[in-house]
Structure 1
Amino acid sequence: MKQIYVIGIGAGDPEHLTLEALGALGRTDVFFLLDKGADKADLVALRELILQRHAIRPHRVVTVPDPERDRAAPAQGYAPAVDDWRRRRADVYQRLIAEELPAGACGAFLVWGDPALYDSTLGILEEVHARGTEEFGWTVVPGISSVALLAARHRTGLNRVGRPLQITTGRRLAEEGLPDGVDDVVVMLDARQAFGRFTGQHLHIHWGAYLGTPDEILLAGPLDETLADRIRTVRAEARARKGWIMDTYLLRRTGGRPTGGR
C-alpha cells in the first residue's frame, strides 16, 4: 500500500524540525510541494532547504500549483468558497497520489507549523481516501506551531492558572468579539486586523509575524490606539515588501492571575 506522511515542519526555522520529522523525511520517496505563486516563493524555498539538508535517501520532488481560493468572498459566502477550494485541492492531491507515487512507495506533504492547527491537509486527505479511488495510509507528524513559537518569543505562557485559553481566527473575533469567560485569546489568520476594535479595553497584546524566519517581527504592550496603529503600519509595510504575511497574536485581559501552571 502507498503511504503518506503529513509532516509538520514548524513555523519557519529549519531548526524546529523534530526528531520524528527528520526520521519521516529520511523515509520518503516523493515529496509533494504546492506552489502558491511568486509572492509566496519563500514558502516553497524553505521546504526545498529542508529537503536539501535532511532528505537523505534518493527522492523526487513534485511541485504543482496550489488552487486559488476566493479570499474576497463575503461572510455568507465564506464557507462555500472554502468548500470549493478544498474540493479542488482534493482533486490535486488525488492526482498526485495516483500518478506520482508508485505502489508501495512513501510520499509526504510538508505542512507549515502543525498539521492539526488551522491547516487543511488532514481533512483533504480524508476526503481523497473516502472517494475510494486510491488506497493509501497516512501518518501525521506534529510540528512546532506559530502559537507555541509566539509564546516562546515573548517569553510568556499561553494560559492563566486554572483558566481556559481559546484559539480563534480574525474573522471570528471580528464577528463575535472576545469570548465570555476567557482571559487569553490567540488569534490567527487575521487579515482584518480585528485587534484594532478592542483598544482601550484593558488588554495586552503579544504580536508576531514571520515567526521563526529571518524576517521575524515582534511587538507587545498594552493595546491602545498608539500600539494598534504601530502594528497596522508595520504589518502593511512588511506585507508590501514581501508580498505576503503570516502573523499571530495573543490578546490578554490585564488584571488577571499570573500565567503558567495547570
Structure 2
Amino acid sequence: MPEPVKVRILGVGMGPQHVTAEVAEALRSADYVLAAEKADGDPLLALRREIVAAHPGAAGPVEVVAVRDPERDRSAGLTTGGYESAVTDWHDARAARYAAVLQQRAGTAAFLVWGDPSLYDSTIRIVEKVRALGVDLDYDVLPGISAPQLLAARHRMVLHDVGRPVHLTTGRRLQEAVAAGLDNILAMLNPPPERLDFTGLADWTIWWGANLGAAGERLVTGRLGDVLPAIAEARAAAQAQDGWVMDLFLVRRT
C-alpha cells in the first residue's frame, strides 16, 4: 500500500531573511514545493524561488512546481456574502489543481506561506479540501514571521496599550469593528485606501506599512486624516517597485 503524501505548510515571512532554522530544515526535506502562479512573470512566484534557492539541500535547491492559479471574482461591489462565496469557489478550484499534482507526484510537498499560516491564509483549509477530494495525505504546519509582527517592529511599537486588546480584522470589515466600539484595530487584506471606509476616523492615529521586508517596503504614521494622501502615494510606489503590494495598518483612537 503506497505511503500517504506528506505535505509541509511552512511560514516564510516575506523572504529568505525571515525563514527560521526550523522552516529551512523542513524545506530541505521536501521533494518539491507547490506554488501558485497568478500570471506570467508572477513576481511572488519569483520570490518563492528566491527563498528556495537561499536554503538548498545537499542536492541543491528543491524543485518548484508552479500551478496556475484559478481566477477569482474580485469585483469591487461584492457584498460580504458574495465575497465569501467567491473565495470558497476559488479555494475549491485551487484544491482540485493541487490534488492532481499531489496524486501524480506523491512524496513530500511543501507550501510556502507568506507571513504565518495562522493569519488570513487559507493553505490549511485548502489542504483539508485536497484531503476531502480523496488524496491520502498527512500534513504539518510550521510558523513564520507574521505581517503584524513586522508592522510593530518597523514602527517600534506595541500593538496594544497596557492590559488592552487588539482586534484583528480585514479592511472590508473596518467600520463593523468601529461600530462595535473597538478602538484599537489592525486591518489586513486591504484594498487601495480610496476603497476603504475611514468615516469618523480622521482624528485616530494610523500606523501603516506595505511590502514589509521587501525592497519596496513603505511606512507611514500619523493622524489618519492628515496622512491618507501619503499612504496612497506610498502604496503605489511599493506596487511599482515590487510588482505587487500587500499592506496592513493599525488604527487607534487618540
Q: Deviations over 1:64-95 (max 9, x none)?
A: 11111111062142122111111101101111
Q: Which residue of 1 aligns with 2:28?
A: 26
Tell me how far 1:113 sits from its aligned partner. 0.7
TM-score under structure 1 length normalisation: 0.87
- Aligned residue pairs total 245
Q: Which residue of 2 aligns with 1:127?
A: 129
Provide the C-alpha distance between the structure 1 equivalents of 2:115 and 2:232, rounded to a whole number of angstroms. Answer: 24
The change in CA–CA distance for 1:210 and 1:55 in structure 2 (over 3 A counts) is same
Q: Deviations over 1:200-229 (max 9, x none)?
A: 3x31100001110011000001112x3112
Q: Which residue of 2 aligns with 1:232?
A: 232
Provide the C-alpha distance between the structure 2 equivalents of 1:239 and 1:52, rounded to a whole number of angstroms. Answer: 24
Provide the C-alpha distance between the structure 1 equivalents of 2:230 and 2:201, rounded to a whole number of angstroms. Answer: 13
Provide the C-alpha distance between the structure 2 equivalents of 1:56 and 1:240, rounded to a whole number of angstroms. Answer: 34
Provide the C-alpha distance between the structure 1 equivalents of 2:121 and 2:58, rounded to a whole number of angstroms. Answer: 27
Tell whether the 8 Å contact from 1:29 to 1:57 is kept in structure 2 after alignment: no
**Letter paired with 1:17:** V
Tell me how far 1:237 sits from its aligned partner. 4.5
Tell whether the 8 Å contact from 1:210 to 1:216 is kept in structure 2 after alignment: yes
Secondary structure of 1:93's counterpart equals: helix
Q: Which residue of 1 aligns with 2:101?
A: 96
Q: Which residue of 2 aligns with 1:71?
A: 74
The RMSD of aligned alpha carbons is 1.9
Q: Which residue of 2 aligns with 1:180?
A: 180
Secondary structure of 1:90's counterpart equals: helix
Q: How does 1:1-262 map to 2 (within 5 A)?
A: 1-10=4-13, 12-38=14-40, 41-58=42-59, 59-72=62-75, 74-75=78-79, 76-101=81-106, 105-131=107-133, 133-174=134-175, 176-178=176-178, 180-193=180-193, 194=196, 196-200=198-202, 202-224=203-225, 226-239=226-239, 242-254=242-254
The change in CA–CA distance for 1:20 and 1:151 in structure 2 (over 3 A counts) is same
Q: Deviations over 1:115-170 (max 9, x none)?
A: 11111110011111123x22110010111011110000000011111111111001
**Letter paired with 1:3:** K
Tell whether the 8 Å contact from 2:37 to 2:69 is kept in structure 1 after alignment: yes
Tell me how far 1:33 sits from its aligned partner. 1.4
Q: Deviations over 1:88-117 (max 9, x none)?
A: 01101111210122xxx2110111111111
Q: Which residue of 2 aligns with 1:260?
A: none
Provide the C-alpha distance between the structure 1 equivalents of 2:172 and 2:37, rounded to a whole number of angstroms. Answer: 25
Tell whether the 8 Å contact from 1:171 to 1:192 is kept in structure 2 after alignment: no
TM-score under structure 2 length normalisation: 0.89
Tell whether the 8 Å contact from 2:15 to 2:51 is kept in structure 1 after alignment: no
Tell whether the 8 Å contact from 2:215 to 2:241 is kept in structure 1 after alignment: no
**Letter paired with 1:83:** T
Gaps of 5+ in 2: none
Provide the C-alpha distance between the structure 1 equivalents of 2:21 and 2:54, rounded to a whole number of angstroms. Answer: 14
Instruction: Give percent identity, aligned residues only.
Output: 42
Tell me how far 1:14 sits from its aligned partner. 1.5
Deviation larger for 237-246 or 113-122:
237-246
**Letter paired with 1:23:** E
Q: Which residue of 2 aligns with 1:259?
A: none
Gaps of 5+ in 1: 255-262
**Letter paired with 1:30:** Y
Tell me how far 1:13 sits from its aligned partner. 3.3
The change in CA–CA distance for 1:92 and 1:198 in structure 2 (over 3 A counts) is farther
